[in-house]
Amino acid sequence: MTRLGELLFAPGFFQSAEVTRALLLGSMVAAISGLMGVFVVIRGQAFIAHALADFGGAGAAVAFLVRINPVWGFLTFGVLAATGVEFLGKRAGERDLSTGIVLSVALGVESLFLYLDTHYTGHAGAPMLILFGSIFLVAPFTVPIIMALTVTTGVTLDLIYRPLLLSSIDPELARIRGVPVQAMSLIFVILLSLVVEEGSLMMGALLSISLLIGPAAAATHLTHRMGWAMLWSALLGITAMWMGIVLAYDSFYWPPAGRGWPVSFFICVLVLLFYLLARLSSQRSQVKVRVARKCDA
Amino acid sequence: MMDWAAGKDDPVLALDNISVQFDKRCVLKNVNIRVYPGEFIGLIGSNGAGKSTLLKVILGLLSPTQGTVQVGGPADGKGERLMGYVPQKLFLAPDIPLRGRDLVALGLDGHRWGIPLFSKERKRRVSEILEAVDAARYADAPVGQLSGGEQQRLLIAQALLTDPQILLLDEPLSNLDIKSAYEVIQLVSRIGREKGIAVILVAHDMNPLLGVMDRVVYLADGKALMGQIPDVFRSDVLSDLYGYPVEVLNVQGRIMVVGGRNFENNGYPREAICCESNEVL
């Protein structure tokens, strides 16, 4: 039994403060991303989420240059971009274009500041850190910030759950029922930016949405109920996060030995795996539904 | 059919002299509509006649350039709360994690804050209305995988749960096959009569509604005519409305409105300055 334990968890896994912190932060980020993700999937806003992450990345690059904690760069730029996307593209048709414009500006600014970062701070690893993240290197004082963000986002999502769902299903119907649809949309995209920037701190700007979209998309194949989908999505995200952290820790001894593989890589692959399995299982159950219908007629 | 002109009830919806102008273009011109409790109204017009603009005005989503809208009689000014709205179609991903009954339940409390808490009363009301619209069979199936007719029934159930005085259906028939369309009409008409709810059904074809409509609102070129079917569907009356000769044909109990034979009149001025004019229809 201990042999198996040693095989799964490389020595020092449970003693390392970095690992404990990564597990704690990772669980929070995966959980809140999973909850939000279901709404992102039903609102079709995956593209916006990606743009927000990249804009946050540009902010982090700026923060890196002026030597403040990247978390502030991620957050301010993320929220600004969220507001910008919302006001640039009020109509659904325009939104795709305005998101595309915001995204390209984000990447452009990001490329400039990442260049300046490596030039002026002497940190050759800055681009890698901002774009692909490093969950083991998150500064201890970031923990309360992440906690506060997670709780705030969770509580707000809980509060606006029903009007948000109604306006995601049919905005006009929601408006007639007295739901402030535009405010819902703005609040949601700001929450989205907060969650995405949290993810960016762990997974990097480029990969932060993998915890947002994949688990939620998988969950919609596993259940037909909103609440269960959100629960599944959070659970799948947390599982991918924990397995990713274990694998990344173990990979310290994999070639080229002496440096672990990026956690983000493992998480993305695991999320993809979960998604494919979920699709497979739902395809089988859908065939059953179809057959049952035919006999009914 | 009842004689609405007697007017012993207060109207549940009153539109007076409604005009809507976008830039220079007049979309609605002096529209007057009165709807009484329990009445079935067909709101008929072809594409571009101003149906959706009128619908938005009634729903309170658009304020008219001119005129007044009164919902629910002069006494209670609750406005759109009294209106149950059935959208034309849902644009949902097939794998949206939402069952039929979840969609319907949003009619009950979808506008409230927070997450829905389990309550027996809530469950009972949802099941009851699902039975009433004959949708209980597929209430547990995911909404995105249901047919247009099935979704339509759920949307009607959802609207009924808002406890409306007016049920507004935006082109419910345009995505349905003939049989489903017939069933939806029968359903709405039955429920309207049973519960005393006024039904306003928007459609471009009046024929499926001929047996159930109490009165018709016919829209053409932004102008509206309201009345009993035989009074509205007359060649002279509709020609006047269109400002262009049309003929109303009666083919085996069905009504057809076709363009007149005199094509010389094709150059009839469409862009009349409307909002100033006070022609009474």
The pairing of beta strand B215-220 with beta strand B223-227: antiparallel
Q: Are B59 and A38 a contacting pair at CB < 8 A?
A: no
Sign of CA dihedral B102, B108, B113, B116: negative
Encoded tokens for B57 = 């005005």
Round to whole Å and give the CA distance between B21 and B57: 12
Least reliable range by pLDDT among A17-21, A51-55, A119-123, B15-19 = A119-123
* Contact check, Cβ <8 Å, A176/B85: yes
Cβ of B92 within 8 Å of Cβ of A169? The answer is yes
Q: What is the pLDDT of residues A99-122, one digit of tens each?
A: 888 788 888 988 999 888 888 877
Of the listed ranges A282-291, B129-138, B151-160, B170-179, the one predicted with least confidence = A282-291
Q: What residue type is B257 in one-letter code?
A: V
CB B246 within 8 A of CB B238: yes
Mean pLDDT within B91-106: 90
Q: Nearest C-alpha of chain A: how many angstroms from B74?
A: 20
Strand order in the sheet with B166-169: B83-86, B166-169, B198-203, B40-45, B215-220, B223-227
Contact status, residue A25 vs residue A202, Cβ threshold 8 Å = yes
- Of residues A169, A173, A289, nearest to B85 (C-beta): A173
**Are the Cβ atoms of A169 and B95 closer than 8 angstroms?**
no
Of B92, B110, B116, the CB nearest to A177: B110
Total domains present in chain A: 1
End-to-end CA distance of chain B: 23
| Tokens matching residue B160 | 């009924």
Report residue B21: phi and psi, to 5°.
-125, 125
Asked if the B1-73+165-232 domain carries CATH number 3.90.1150.10, the reply is no
The fraction of chain B above a pLDDT of 90, given in percent, is: 55
Q: Which domain holds residue A16?
A: 3-296
The whole-number average pLDDT for the span A26-37 is 96
Three-state secondary-structure class, residue B119: coil
Cβ neighbours of A178 in B, within 8 Å: 80-81, 111
Q: What is the pLDDT of residue B141?
A: 93
> Strands B254-259 and B13-22, how do they pair?
unpaired
pLDDT at residue B268 is higher than 80: no
Quick one: tokens of A5?
Answer: 């334990």
How confident is the model over B144-186, as pLDDT tens digits? Answer: 989 989 999 999 999 999 989 999 999 999 888 999 899 999 9
Min CA distance, A176 vs chain B (Å)?
A: 7
Please tell me which residue, A146 or B279, carries the higher pLDDT value: A146
On average, the pLDDT of chain B sits at 85
Whether A178 and B85 lie within 8 Å, measured CB to CB: no
pLDDT greater than 70 at residue A251: yes
pLDDT at A175: 92
Nearby residues of B120 by Cβ (< 8 Å), 6 or more positions away: none
Q: Do A42 and B96 touch (CB under 8 A)?
A: yes
pLDDT at A10: 75
Predicted local confidence at residue B281, as pLDDT = 39
Mean predicted confidence (pLDDT) in B137-148: 92
Q: Which tokens belong to A178?
A: 């007295």
Residues of A in contact with B81 (CB under 8 A): 178
- Please give the pLDDT value at position B198: 95
pTM of the full structure: 0.87
CB atoms within 10 A of CB B119: 10
**Separation in Å, CA of B99 to nearest CA in chain A:** 6
Whether the per-residue pLDDT at B260 is higher than 80: the answer is no
Binning pLDDT at 50, 70 and 90, where does residue B252 land?
confident
Which band of pLDDT confidence, cut at 50, 70 and 90, is reported for residue B270? very low
Tell me which residue of B78, B62, B35, B68 sits closest to B196, measured CA to CA. Answer: B35
Q: What are phi and psi of B236, to 5 degrees?
A: -65, -40
Residues of A in Cβ contact (< 8 Å) with B91: 170
Amino acid B80: pLDDT: 47
Return the residue in B89, B95, B152 with the most chain A beta carbons within 10 A, the one to mutate for interface testing: B95
A157-216 residue pLDDT tens = 999 999 999 999 999 999 999 999 999 999 999 999 999 999 998 888 888 888 999 999
Q: What is the pLDDT of residues B45-92, one digit of tens each?
A: 988 888 989 999 999 889 999 999 988 755 444 444 688 999 988 888
State the CATH number of the domain containing residue A20.
1.10.3470.10
C-alpha distance from B105 to closest chain A C-alpha (Å): 10
DSSP letter for each residue of B122-178: HHHHHHHHHHHTT-GGGTTSBGGGS-HHHHHHHHHHHHHTT--SEEEESSTTTTS-H
Residue-wise pLDDT tens digits, A214-232: 999 999 999 999 999 999 9
Q: How far apart are CA B91 and CA A140, in angstroms?
A: 45
Q: Tell me the pLDDT tens digit for each residue of A34-82.
A: 999 999 999 989 989 999 998 899 999 999 888 888 889 899 999 998 9
CA distance A224 to B100: 10
Are B80 and A41 within 8 A, CB to CB?
no
Confidence of residue B272 (pLDDT cuts 50, 70, 90): very low
pLDDT at B259 over 70: yes
Query: CA separation (Å) from B114 to B110, B165, B226?
Result: 10, 27, 43
Q: What is the pLDDT of residue A233?
A: 97
**Token duo for residue A33:** 């991303």
Q: How far apart are CA A80 and CA A74, in angstroms?
A: 10
Chain B residues in contact with chain A using a Cβ-Cβ cutoff of 8 Å: 59-61, 80-81, 83, 85, 87, 90-93, 95-99, 102-103, 106, 109-116, 140-142, 145, 162
Of the partner residues A166, A221, A225, the one whose CB lies closest to the CB of residue B95: A221
**What integer pLDDT is reported at residue B280 of this predicted model?**
39
Measure the CA–CA gap between A142 and A25, rounded to whole angstroms.
Answer: 9
SS3 (DSSP) at B246 = strand
Domain boundaries, chain B: 1-73+165-232, 91-163, 246-281
Query: How many angstroms separate the CA atoms of A95 and A98, rounded?
Result: 5
Find the mean pLDDT for residues B95-114.
92
Indicate yes or no: CB of B112 within 8 angstroms of CB of A220: no
Is B159:B129 a contact under the CB 8 Å cutoff? no
- Determine whether the interchain pair A163/B90 forms a contact, defined as Cβ–Cβ distance below 8 Å: no
Whether chain B has a CB inside 8 Å of the CB on A175: the answer is yes
Least Cα separation, residue A197 to chain B (angstroms): 25
| pLDDT score, position A253 | 81
Tell me if chain B has a CB within 8 Å of the CB of A291.
no
- Phi-psi group of A261: left, alpha or beta (phi > 0 → left; psi -120 to 50 → alpha; rest → beta): beta
